[in-house]
A and B are shown apart, each in its own frame.
Chain A
Amino acid sequence: MSMNQTETSSAGSRAPKPQPGSGGLIDIAIRYGFLALLVGLVIFFSVFANGFAGPRSAVFIFQSVAITGILALGVTCTLVVGGFDLSIGSVATSSMMLAAYMMVVLEQPAFVAIIACLAMGAFIGLINGLLIVKTKVPDLLATLGMMFLLVGLQRIPTEGRSIAMGMTLPDGSTAEGTFSPLFLQLGRHRFDFMLENLLPAPVIFLVVIGILVWVFLELTRHGRLMYAIGSNERAASLTGTNVNNYKILAYMISGVLASIGGMLLAARLGRGDIASGTNLLLDAVAAALIGFAVLGAAKPNAFGTAMGALFVGILLQGLTMMNAPYYTQDFIKGLVLVIALVFTFSLSARKAGGH
């Protein structure tokens, strides 16, 4: 066994660009391991889970990951600047409640509700950012505080009740407003793609937002500077980068994306459900962190995040179709996350260490 290992490592270092202390196999494992696992998972479920292989099942997976995926892309932006946003889940539910409140109780058109939600997301992101860069509250604590604050705040206007059309308001009257059909379409419309009524609108949102975030982070100088801040904040600031502005920007992106996720949730459910969205934070953070392991990036990245969300979605859908009980889902998600983190930090550390 040990003979084998020395052989592979010497073979690897004869590659055109030798990395000290790393073998070729390990390099390949780090780069493609997670994607291979993803493909393996698909093949496994296709063989063993009846009806898994097919466009309907694929769409179901996409739909289930669309909202968490959008939230995860927001977390990714905060991870890039070396921060963390724990408030996304509650921003999303607040946005859901606000959308419902605007339309059902205040009888506003969908357009106004959407603008209000986006503005709220941006504003919460701004507050998070200011708490972190101006008052120097550590990012985890600032966004944790914001999370509790929002969880409480979103219950106050309705005295803790969910918002549905025709609900009884705290003053005894009945809510007159309705969800605009156009708004509901955002979460429910299905586009024709290969099959009729195949592709749900939130999936389109996920793909478009995913591409935008990827382009922003990978191809623009702003994304580059954000990565620089995440790697060495002091160095970035000494090269004239306005570190504070970029950090605030990252939290605002996160807030806006979370509010979009919340609106899609409201549109899908057709109500402002106080109890939904409890898993959003965990799922989104897991997707973003799993994303570190994709292609051996060892850093937050948009493509990895999307793959991470997809991975969790496929796993859960497959297990559901194989009749795994629903209460095992969180356990499995946690397990995948831990494995992905081990992947990222131990193997990639081996790649980087060496000099």
Chain B
Amino acid sequence: MNGTLCDLRGVDKSFGDNRVLKQLNLSLPAGSVTVLMGANGAGKSTLVKILSGVHALDAGSITLLGKDFRPSTPSEAIRAGVVTVHQNINDGVIPDLDVASNLLIDQLAEPGYGFFLKRRQNYADAERIASQMGLALNVRQSVAELGVADRQLIAIARAMAHDPQLLILDEPTSSLSASEAERLFLLIERLSAKGVAVLYISHRMSDIRRIANRIVSMRDGEISGVFEGEELDYEGAVNAMLGHRMTDADISIGAPGRRVLEITDLRLLSGSKPFDFNLSENEVVAVTGLLGSGKSAFAQSLFGLGRPAGGQIRIDGKDYAPANPKAAIARGVFMSAKDRANNAVVADFDITRNITLPFLARYSNLSFIKRSDERSTANEMIEALSIVCQGETDSIGTLSGGNQQKVMLARWLAEQCRLLLLDEPFQGVDIRARRDIGRKIRETAKNRATLVFVSELDEALEVADRIIVMTEHSVAAEFRNENVDLNEILTAVTGAMPSDAGSAARTAHA
């Protein structure tokens, strides 16, 4: 490989008292993909923001191609050749415009462009960029009509129009399916072959195994390990990031209690295959499947957010067809929704108010809220879930992602329920919080039935007694989580999509 492209020496950054980066040294070689791993709060995002010109460093130096690099704005960083694609794809594209305008948007914003649009030239330029990047897209199509993966690729293609020396990707696959992610990886490989240095931030082991040339682990604002060579030491990298070894979760399957959920001939879509499913007290069952396999539709139909096309659902032997979440909650069916920022967190509220939101009636007398009651519940939950905070009146926004997720879980664990649905409870949390949450789900599973909807197989293996695999809005297979053959599960996951057989390997790592 070529020499060092970007070199950080003694970089220091504090926010108030909080020293986020401590004398950090890191070099990024050209033409290779460096994966940056770190638990939430390790300082990854701060590092990215310094490189992309959002924050200024307090001390230390950065050199880019031998020259001092100290961008004061994001556009300065881009002009110097450091381009960042952020986690939220919609920050990178403008859905109402067509693909061409999206690819050329930075050009349009340049002062020298002129007053009128040059449509013909724009389309030609856009097609050239698209073909260079291997994007098979109609550049006149509106971005709003495209899927997540295409938007992500457009955001990256747009970044490439600047001819970057260093490309930073922040959790780019978090909303992509396996085959979509594979397209992204091919693109990254092509870029790195051209000599671009890529800094790739991810929590997903499967991505890391697929794409990394080197792994850099961060812990508490410092680099805690750099792993290079032919055979990367993944366990070592995780170990360096967490400070302890990644152990396989130890699942001991208990005896199921009374039958809670009984599903017969359920059809989620009018054309999908009907399926049966039963779930009892004390059981934790993971539902997994690719994006679009019907996982979400299944969760939603159980929580009154959508009507199944046919079939029967019974809870505790009685018919169950909730019209809305309120009706579902009244029957003792709770759901912690996925995508907590949009669907769960009430940003203006503190921890207490976020926890007590669904069951305010229990804390109030003639509609007047008894604050001491809700505070004591909040403190119990903070204790039980080991939520890291200053106190129960902390604003939810001051917590890390993992702790926010624990608060969302606390919201539903604060009351006894019959069936708990957890949709992607490990989304956007670091491995330590993931372990905590998984353990808590199992510890509290007594006297209720629990369904956990996850897209990562290792999450399912960590938490479940049984794993059911969904494809095409139906249950394709069921496994007992005891000496399971991973390949069998993978075959089931990808079974209906033979074209994905290659990329199935990206999940096969546990």
Q: Name A's B-contacting residues (CB within 8 A).
A: 9-10, 13-14, 17-22, 219-222, 224-225, 227-228, 230-232, 234-242, 299, 352, 354-355
CB pair A221 B15 closer than 8 Å: no
How far, in Å, is A6 (CB) from chain B's closest CB?
11
CB pair A221 B361 closer than 8 Å: yes
- Let me know if B335 is at the binding interface, CB within 8 A: yes
- Let me know if B229 is at the binding interface, CB within 8 A: no
Known: A238-B337, A240-B329. A18 touches B16 (CB 8 A): yes
Q: Name B's A-contacting residues (CB within 8 A).
A: 15-18, 303, 324-326, 328-330, 335, 337, 342-349, 353, 357-358, 360-361, 363-364, 367-369, 390-391, 395, 397-400, 411
Complex CA gap A299/B369 in Å reads 20
How far, in Å, is B363 (CB) from chain A's closest CB?
7
The contact of B15 among A20, A224, A228, A240, by CB within 8 Å, is A20
Please, which residues of chain A bring their CB within 8 A of the CB of B335? 238
Please, which residues of chain A bring their CB within 8 A of the CB of B391? 17
Complex CA gap A85/B364 in Å reads 29
Known: A235-B343, A236-B357, A355-B398. A219 touches B368 (CB 8 A): yes
Please, which residues of chain B bring their CB within 8 A of the CB of A21? 15-16
Please, which residues of chain B bring their CB within 8 A of the CB of A19? 398
Query: Which 3 residue pairs are nearest across A and B when measured between Cβ atoms?
Result: A239-B358, A231-B348, A221-B360
Q: Which secondary structure dominates chain B's binding surface?
A: mixed
Complex CA gap A10/B14 in Å reads 11
Known: A20-B16, A221-B360, A236-B357. A228 touches B346 (CB 8 A): yes
CB pair A227 B348 closer than 8 Å: yes
Please, which residues of chain B bring their CB within 8 A of the CB of A17? 390-391
The contact of A225 among B328, B342, B347, B360, by CB within 8 Å, is B360
Complex CA gap A227/B390 in Å reads 24
Please, which residues of chain B bring their CB within 8 A of the CB of A221? 360-361, 363-364, 367-369
CB pair B367 A239 closer than 8 Å: no
How far, in Å, is A80 (CB) from chain B's closest CB?
10
How far, in Å, is B326 (CB) from chain A's closest CB?
4
Q: List 23 A-B contacts (CB under 8 A).
A: A13-B17, A14-B17, A17-B390, A18-B16, A20-B17, A22-B16, A220-B364, A220-B368, A220-B369, A221-B367, A221-B368, A224-B357, A224-B369, A225-B360, A227-B349, A232-B345, A235-B344, A238-B343, A238-B344, A239-B329, A241-B357, A242-B326, A352-B395
Complex CA gap A236/B325 in Å reads 10
CB pair A20 B18 closer than 8 Å: yes
Complex CA gap A207/B418 in Å reads 47
Given contacts A221-B363, A235-B342, 9 further A-B contacts (CB under 8 A): A10-B17, A13-B16, A20-B18, A230-B348, A235-B344, A235-B346, A238-B343, A239-B357, A240-B330
Please, which residues of chain B bring their CB within 8 A of the CB of A237? 325
Please, which residues of chain B bring their CB within 8 A of the CB of A222? 367
CB pair B346 A238 closer than 8 Å: no
Please, which residues of chain B bring their CB within 8 A of the CB of A354? 15-16, 398
Please, which residues of chain A bring their CB within 8 A of the CB of B400? 355
Please, which residues of chain B bring their CB within 8 A of the CB of A220? 364, 367-369
Complex CA gap A9/B16 in Å reads 7
Please, which residues of chain B bring their CB within 8 A of the CB of A13? 16-17
CB pair A234 B329 closer than 8 Å: no
CB pair A235 B397 closer than 8 Å: no
Complex CA gap A228/B369 in Å reads 15
Complex CA gap A355/B399 in Å reads 8
CB pair A231 B364 closer than 8 Å: no
How far, in Å, is A263 (CB) from chain B's closest CB?
27
How far, in Å, is A298 (CB) from chain B's closest CB?
8
Please, which residues of chain A bring their CB within 8 A of the CB of B411? 239
How far, in Å, is B419 (CB) from chain A's closest CB?
15
The contact of A10 among B16, B329, B357, B368, by CB within 8 Å, is B16
Complex CA gap A241/B368 in Å reads 17
Please, which residues of chain A bring their CB within 8 A of the CB of B364? 220-221
Please, which residues of chain B bring their CB within 8 A of the CB of A235? 337, 342-346, 357
CB pair A234 B397 closer than 8 Å: no
Q: Which chain B residue has the least Cβ–Cβ distance from A218?
A: B369
CB pair A219 B369 closer than 8 Å: yes
How far, in Å, is B398 (CB) from chain A's closest CB?
6
How far, in Å, is B48 (CB) from chain A's closest CB?
15
Complex CA gap A355/B328 in Å reads 35
How far, in Å, is B58 (CB) from chain A's closest CB?
11
Please, which residues of chain A bring their CB within 8 A of the CB of B18? 20
CB pair A18 B360 closer than 8 Å: no
CB pair A20 B326 closer than 8 Å: no
How far, in Å, is B93 (CB) from chain A's closest CB?
22
Complex CA gap A232/B347 in Å reads 7
Please, which residues of chain B bring their CB within 8 A of the CB of A355? 397-400
Please, which residues of chain A bring their CB within 8 A of the CB of B363? 221
CB pair B346 A18 closer than 8 Å: no
The CB with the most chain A CB atoms within 10 A, among B329, B343, B348, B390, is that of B348
How far, in Å, is A108 (CB) from chain B's closest CB?
35
Known: A220-B368, A228-B357, A354-B15. A20 touches B346 (CB 8 A): no
Please, which residues of chain A bring their CB within 8 A of the CB of B328? 240
The contact of A20 among B329, B337, B368, B398, by CB within 8 Å, is B398
How far, in Å, is B350 (CB) from chain A's closest CB?
12
Known: A20-B15, A238-B337, A355-B398. A228 touches B349 (CB 8 A): yes
How far, in Å, is B400 (CB) from chain A's closest CB?
8
How far, in Å, is B102 (CB) from chain A's closest CB?
26
Complex CA gap A347/B349 in Å reads 19
Complex CA gap A227/B335 in Å reads 21
Please, which residues of chain B bring their CB within 8 A of the CB of A299? 348
How far, in Å, is A171 (CB) from chain B's closest CB?
50
Please, which residues of chain B bring their CB within 8 A of the CB of A227? 348-349
Please, which residues of chain B bring their CB within 8 A of the CB of A238? 303, 325, 335, 337, 343-344
How far, in Å, is A83 (CB) from chain B's closest CB?
15
Please, which residues of chain A bring their CB within 8 A of the CB of B329? 239-240
CB pair B360 A224 closer than 8 Å: yes
Please, which residues of chain B bring their CB within 8 A of the CB of A9? 16
Known: A20-B18, A220-B367, A221-B367. A232 touches B360 (CB 8 A): no
Please, which residues of chain A bring their CB within 8 A of the CB of B353? 224, 228
Complex CA gap A14/B18 in Å reads 11
CB pair A232 B326 closer than 8 Å: no
